[in-house]
Amino acid sequence: MTSRLDRDGEFGLAAPSVVSTRATALNSTEPSADELAIAGWSRLSTCDWPDRIVTTLFLQGCPWRCTYCHNYTILDPRTPGVVPWQDVADLLAKRQGLLDGVVFSGGEPTRQRALVAAARQVRGLGFGVGLHTGGAFPTRLRALLPYIDWVGLDIKAPPDRYDEITRRQGSARPAFESLEMVMEAGISVQVRTTVDPTVLTPGDVTRLTELLRDEYGVEDHVLQTVRSDGTSEEYRNALKKTELMG
């Protein structure tokens, strides 16, 4: 099915100083930044990209359904965005020298092909580009790499436990392919693992940490504690049960 987000957009070239969303795509098959479905916007953030002051966009849609996800309202790819890209471009024009960059988060931001045009435009305006991703779409991530300065990459589990977290089959392959790609590209990356105690054992976490370090050369791996707020009732109950048993 071709969604609104997969349609080709307008394209063209303009001087970087002109803040126009019509200047964001370089060929006829690439959607323009205007096509981006933006579900939410944190205009000022100091915690989404280490040591940077950024504006953060939460992009609509994700192919996975992680046990602990607290972004359920933005997972459906058919839901249209609520923030026009032009509003973001207008803010950037006013924040030259005051913001370090833009973080594209989600949902799964690489799901949207228009992200390439948006990232290119952000770079053209002189800002850095950060990306939060689970690596579900390595081919689209590859197209983005030239415009990305920093990646916060979620690696959720050792490969054999991956689908238990994402609740989608075959999810480890694209995630680890994306990790390999980012490491090879030499882009600054922080790998993050939200430790879900309803699925992962301490031994799983150790195996993952060793795999990331020894096989992929990851130096910055952060373990995060799962948060129950915003998760499903089913998950909150499972978490409570695990905590009681622990």
Contacting positions for ligand SF4 (CB under 6 A):
62, 64-66, 69, 71, 75, 106-108, 134
**Residues 181 and 142 sit within 8 Å (Cβ to Cβ):** yes
**Nearest residue to 230 via CA among 105, 79, 72:** 72
Rounded-to-integer distance, Cα 1 and Cα 206, Å: 41
Shortest CB 165 distance to ligand SF4, Å: 8
What is the closest distance, in whole angstroms, from the C-beta atom of residue 233 to ligand SF4 in the complex?
16
Encoding tokens for residue 145? 């790499």
Cβ 179 to ligand SF4 shortest distance, Å = 14
**How many angstroms separate the CA atoms of 88 and 178, rounded?**
27
Nearer to ligand SF4, 122 or 153 (CB): 153
Judged by CB, which is closer to ligand SF4: 64, or 176? 64
Least distance from ligand SF4 to the Cβ atom of residue 59, Å: 10
In the complex, the smallest distance separating the C-beta of residue 170 from ligand SF4, rounded to whole angstroms, is: 14
Provide the residue count of the chain: 246
Smallest gap, in angstroms, from Cβ of residue 64 to ligand SF4?
Answer: 4
Q: Which is nearer to ligand SF4, 62 or 179 (CB)?
A: 62
Pairwise CA distance, residues 112 & 97, whole Å: 28
Pairing between strand 101-105 and 150-154?
unpaired
Fill in the DSSP letter of residue 80: P
- Who contacts 243 (Cβ-Cβ below 8 Å, separation ≥6)? 197
Distance CA 242, CA 16 (A): 53
By beta-carbon proximity to ligand SF4, the closer residue of 76 and 220 is 76
Q: Which is nearer to ligand SF4, 81 or 106 (CB)?
A: 106
Do 76 and 61 contact (CB within 8 A), yes or no? yes
Which is nearer to ligand SF4, 66 or 119 (by Cβ)? 66
